[in-house]
Amino acid sequence: MIYVAFLNGYMPPGGDGLTPRLAESVPSQLEHLPVNFDLSAYYSPERGQYNATLILAHLLRHLPEANAKIVGLTNVDLFIPVLTFVFGQAQLNGPGAVVSTYRLRNEYYGLPSSPALLYDRTVKEIVHELGHTLGLVHCRDFSCVMHASTYVEEVDLKEARFCSDCSAELSG
């Protein structure tokens, strides 16, 4: 089971329809799970951002059962200490991941809002991070959801699905 955790009542684009959409791309049962905890403890005043690694560690305490996975959704700006920002973070072959929509929004780049684009990007980033929890590393196929994305343009280039090689690895 993979739990999709909407953090602190944050409703990501697509709302309740997001979890069934993810189930089309990820070969696992998914369920929506509301999770609440105070993110302010993980805020870095120097950076004006939230520490993704610490949020992820806290999120794991909300894992309802062993052998399940959990992906947290938030709209705060995430970082890990070695990087300027991250769209998300995951534990390779581990139980947890976290994804933020903060830098997936057109408005962040001074462009007109696009709910459809935000929804697509959110689906792709969640599927990508879940792929890591399922043991996949980055893929060289630029259309594969496991292709690494530093910029939102790269997110737009890829599709919300695993390429045949990555799919084979998941089912193998």
Q: Which of 97, 98, 144, 160 binds Zn ion (CB under 5 A)?
A: 144
Candidate list 129, 153, 154, 169, residue with the active-site label: 129
**Would you call 122 exposed, middle or buried from its count of C-beta atoms within 10 A (0-12, 13-18, 19+)?**
buried
Q: With contact defined as beta carbons under 8 Å apart, do 19 and 123 qualify?
A: no
Nearest in space to 2 (alpha carbons), one of 167, 22, 13, 14: 22
Site string for Zn ion, 95-114 (x = CB under 5 A): --------------------
Smallest distance from the beta carbon of 88 to Zn ion, in angstroms?
A: 8
Determine, following the binding rule CB under 5 A, whether residue 163 of this chain makes contact with Zn ion: yes
Does 129 participate in catalysis according to the annotation?
A: yes
Smallest distance from the beta carbon of 45 to Zn ion, in angstroms?
A: 28
Q: With contact defined as beta carbons under 8 Å apart, do 145 and 159 qualify?
A: yes
- Which positions are annotated as active-site residues? 129
Binding footprint of Zn ion on the chain (CB under 5 A): 139, 141, 144, 146, 163, 166
